[in-house]
Amino acid sequence: MIPLLRLAGALLIPILAFFVLWATFDFLRDAEANRLLVVGVAILVGVGGVFFLYWGMDRVVSLLPERYREGVRPYIFVGPALVILAVFLIYPVINTILTSLKDAQGESFVGLDNFKFVFTDESMLRAIRNTFGWIVIVPLFGVAIGLAFATLADRLHRGEALAKSMIFLPMAISFAGASITWKLIYDFRPAAFGSNIGLLNGIMLGLGQEPVRWLDIHPWNNLFLMVIMVWMQTGFAMVVLSAAIKAIPDEILEAARIDGASELQVFRRIIVPSILPTIAVVTTYMVINAMKVFDIVFVMGSPETRGTEVIAERMIDWFFINNHDGRGAAIAVILFIAIVPVMIVNIRRFREEEMIR
């Protein structure tokens, strides 16, 4: 009886609430209403709906006989999260693994053919190599610059918040916006097609050099694209590391200084070891992000002719442009497998933290 009730609580009520929401939207879609009104109603329904869902479920649980109540309630709290994760993440993972064993239309099974393709296709191999470069270089520079800046800004008497905000600024820019931003840096025009409006070539011309097609010089163009991601993500690393540095007790730092330690020694022997766990978290996060990088490469244009492919970009290419579901899915599976070691490290670290608690 109890397991049945739990199941009902965890599954049926969220599903019921979902259908109420869905019916509202079906109505909204058909209504030729003023856009502002539609948007307003949508926001209200969306925000209000989720709170109403939990409140309603809790009321329903309270109606249950007393001895079942506390057994069911936890599942009410975690139920919606688990349902959504099952639909939006677990189901796709299983589905993708199955699709990776099928043909272009995803109809008949072809065994491991798609994986054979993935590891023989030249463009794909280049993508794997490039992605490897991304996961090494982007976190390395992001964390190093972020740490250096956080340490330096910590010593400013005034303007620390302002300086940090300036570094964080690029986080607020979309990849589409960032691509426009960086085209104004890398833009190239041959001599006959007007003056160069890209900053780098402006500098080259100012120095009396020929303008350069920055994004066409392989393999350096990969590095130029990585610069964009470093630019966007250093702010995140810096903010998190800065908070960690501020949490180091002042007495320790001052004691070291009184004992005659140089600033560099304080940094290497005290600051870095104290915030090592945070550095690990930030690095992990940036490695995962670099592994999944897609937008920058895609929006900056023609990765295949430039040799700047990355794994996630290949996947989108095979899914949406070449319409070969099997190959796209196989690349997705490779990406997933590549991320598994990072995941294991993450879980191990988490378990250690649990022990300390």
Partner 1 sequence: MSTTTVPPATRPIPIRGSGLEPRGGGWFVRIAVLVIVILWLIPSLGVLITSFRPESLVDSTGWWTALLHPFRATEWTLENYRQALDAGGLGNAFLNSLAVAIPATVIPIAIAAFAAYAFSWMEFRGRYLMFIGVVALLVVPLQMALIPILRLYNHGAVIGGYYVFPDLDLVGTFLGIWLAHTGFGLPLAVYLLRNYIGSLPSSIVESAKIDGADHFTIFWRLIIPLSVPALAAFAIFQFLWVWNDLLVAYVFLGGTRQNRVLTIALANLVGGRGENWQLLTAAAFISMSLPLLVFFALQKYFVRGLTAGAVKG
What does the CA dihedral 284, 287, 292, 296 come to, rounded to 10 degrees?
Answer: 130
Among residue numbers 219 through 238, which ones bind partner 1 (CB under 8 A)? 231, 234
DSSP-assigned letter for residue 87: I
Tell me the three state secondary structure of residue 102: strand
Which of 7, 8, 33, 93 is in the footprint of partner 1 by CB under 8 A? 93
- The least CB distance from residue 111 to partner 1, in Å, is 21
The residue (of 55 and 119) whose beta carbon lies closer to partner 1 is 55
Site string for partner 1, 285-304 (x = CB under 8 A): ---x--xx-xx---x-----
Structure tokens at 44: 């209200």
Tell me the three state secondary structure of residue 120: coil
Q: Which stretch binds partner 1 (CB under 8 A): 119-127, 174-182, 215-223, 302-310?
A: 174-182
Among residue numbers 201 through 220, which ones bind partner 1 (CB under 8 A)? 202
Residues 6+ apart with CB under 8 A from 12: none
Residue 239 binds partner 1 (CB under 8 A)? yes
Burial of 72 (0-12, 13-18, 19+ CB in 10 A): buried
Cα separation of 286 and 251, whole Å? 32
Which of 68, 132, 175, 224 is in the footprint of partner 1 by CB under 8 A? 175
The residue (of 136 and 247) whose beta carbon lies closer to partner 1 is 247
Site string for partner 1, 332-351 (x = CB under 8 A): x--xx--xx-xx--xx--x-
Could you give the maximum distance between any two Cα atoms of the chain, in Å?
85
Cβ–Cβ under 8 Å, residues 147 and 237: yes
Residue 90 binds partner 1 (CB under 8 A)? yes
Cα separation of 91 and 76, whole Å? 21
How many Cα atoms are found within 13 Å in the side-chain-facing hemisphere of 220? Answer: 7
Q: Which stretch binds partner 1 (CB under 8 A): 45-53, 120-128, 129-137, 211-219?
A: 45-53
Helices (H) and strands (E) in the chain, counts: 19, 0
Residue type, 310: V
Cβ burial 310-327 (10 Å sphere, 16+ → b, else e):
bbbbbbbbbbeeeebbbb
> 102 pairs with which residues across the strands?
109
How many Cα atoms are found within 13 Å in the side-chain-facing hemisphere of 217? Answer: 9
Among residue numbers 246 through 275, which ones bind partner 1 (CB under 8 A)? 246-250, 254, 257-258, 262-263, 266, 274-275
What angle, rounded to 10 degrees, do the helices at 220-246 and 175-186 form?
Answer: 120
Q: Which stretch binds partner 1 (CB under 8 A): 36-44, 115-123, 135-143, 218-226?
A: 36-44
Residue 25 binds partner 1 (CB under 8 A)? yes
Cα separation of 306 and 219, whole Å? 9
Site string for partner 1, 107-136 (x = CB under 8 A): ------------------------------
Among residue numbers 141 through 160, which ones bind partner 1 (CB under 8 A)? 145, 148-149, 152-157
- The least CB distance from residue 116 to partner 1, in Å, is 20
Tell me the three state secondary structure of residue 109: strand
Among residue numbers 46 through 65, which ones bind partner 1 (CB under 8 A)? 46-47, 50-51, 54-55, 58
Q: Which stretch binds partner 1 (CB under 8 A): 117-125, 131-139, 193-201, 208-216?
A: 193-201
Q: Which stretch binds partner 1 (CB under 8 A): 115-123, 134-142, 182-190, 210-218?
A: 182-190
